[in-house]
A = this chain, B = another copy of it.
């Protein structure tokens, strides 16, 4: 009897997150205060973020960090998510590879984002915060935060990237259903937004513009903290619940992955699935390959530069050491809104530099080809972001078909695409196109960067 789905018993759920910083041979460089050029302290960060998140952000000592009992209780309400052997996809590809996916699409709100929204809101509540604010790209993070904020009785305001508001209007409705205020970014409600609109009235927005607006709202509103759904170290930490579960579930399946794959925007779902497995590479015990699948139209991992840069368009955040396309880079209007971000997180950037992982860039059409095949075989319509991970997994599986290797491939299905149906409709009617960024455009944005940040 083929077993396809692996679920953990409640008492096997992880009680700690894994903090890869503590075990990296070269630690990530510190975030820097753009005024003083000094490394940021937890005190500095806690002006914007919850204090506990600020401490986690800079913790390079403790490899294991306790998940608060209250957060564990909330995790138990929906976790573990299933680890699934994709037999039908394997058969359709005719590959000897074994393909597994971790199904985060069955989480509340349909993606992995809830895993960090819960602890972030929990810490805010504990620390006496009454309001939270954030940015959202595709809307997965904003939706998750809206629900987590509602659970903990916090008011929630979300700046949603304008183009994705138009592409997937249902997502704003989801956030409003959970009681959040939703504003399209760039908006006229902040100084940052007004500046951007004044310069470029038709700016479609990006995660960078929305972060600027949300940070501005947080620092100008009493008792309000900013929360981020990706990029930062503490977000990656919370998401390791995914990979820690997957490790136990792969044991149930009697296998260990040769390749671990996730799509890549700021790094949250990639870190989540990858870091717990990568710790065995750091210790030299395993030699798993780690692949981050980014869109061809926003190729910071494969074609960006390692450099200190702002996390947002307006330059409100600390300077972060990132593989980046420059914080003024304006990504094309692809449907994978969650991947339209100019930079990679600090940990990831260091891991790439040190050769522990690498990126691949996926054209938009290839990502939807992959998503369609996955839907028609496995019965789940994947989010356009997740389609990039599937496409990278299919590339691996096809190369196994050529070589005859029985590689074990594990990818993270970060979310479902039910809110993204207009993008599938466009794909079906042949309207979707690829967007390749020119070398000149990357060069122009990155060289401006060297001017701005000395």
Interface residues of A (CB under 8 A from B): 1-5, 7, 10, 73, 76-78, 84, 88, 106, 108-110, 114, 147, 150-151, 169-170, 173-174, 176-179, 372, 375-376, 379-381, 418-419, 421-422, 424-425, 428
Contacts and interface: CB of A to CB of B under 8 A. Distances in A.
A360 to B, nearest CB: 25
A114 B7 CA distance: 21
A78 B170 contact: no
A368 to B, nearest CB: 10
A381 B174 contact: yes
A428 B147 contact: no
A351 B3 CA distance: 39
A147 B379 contact: yes
A176 B110 CA distance: 21
18 contacts: A2-B73, A3-B76, A5-B78, A7-B7, A78-B379, A108-B379, A114-B379, A147-B379, A170-B418, A170-B419, A170-B421, A173-B421, A173-B425, A176-B428, A177-B421, A178-B376, A179-B376, A418-B419
A106 B106 contact: yes
Given A2-B73, A3-B10, A418-B418, A108 B380 contact: yes
A174 B418 contact: yes
Contact of A76 (B5, B421, B424): B5
| Interface of A (DSSP majority class) | helix
Contacts of A1: 73
Contacts of A428: 173, 176-177
Contacts of A78: 5, 379
A217 to B, nearest CB: 22
A363 B147 CA distance: 27
A312 B376 CA distance: 31
Nearest to A4: B77
Contacts of A77: 4-5, 84, 379
Contacts of A106: 106
Nearest to A178: B376
Given A379-B109, A422-B173, A76 B4 contact: yes
A147 B381 CA distance: 11
A372 B177 contact: yes
Most chain B C-beta atoms within 10 Å of own C-beta, residue among A147, A379, A428: A379
A142 to B, nearest CB: 14
Contacts of A379: 77-78, 108-109, 114, 147, 151
A176 B372 CA distance: 11
A97 B151 CA distance: 21
Closest 4 CB pairs of A and B: A108-B379, A170-B421, A173-B421, A173-B425
A76 B82 CA distance: 12
A169 B1 CA distance: 39
Nearest to A179: B376
Contacts of A419: 170, 418, 421
Nearest to A371: B177
A16 B110 CA distance: 32
Nearest to A372: B177
Contacts of A108: 379-380
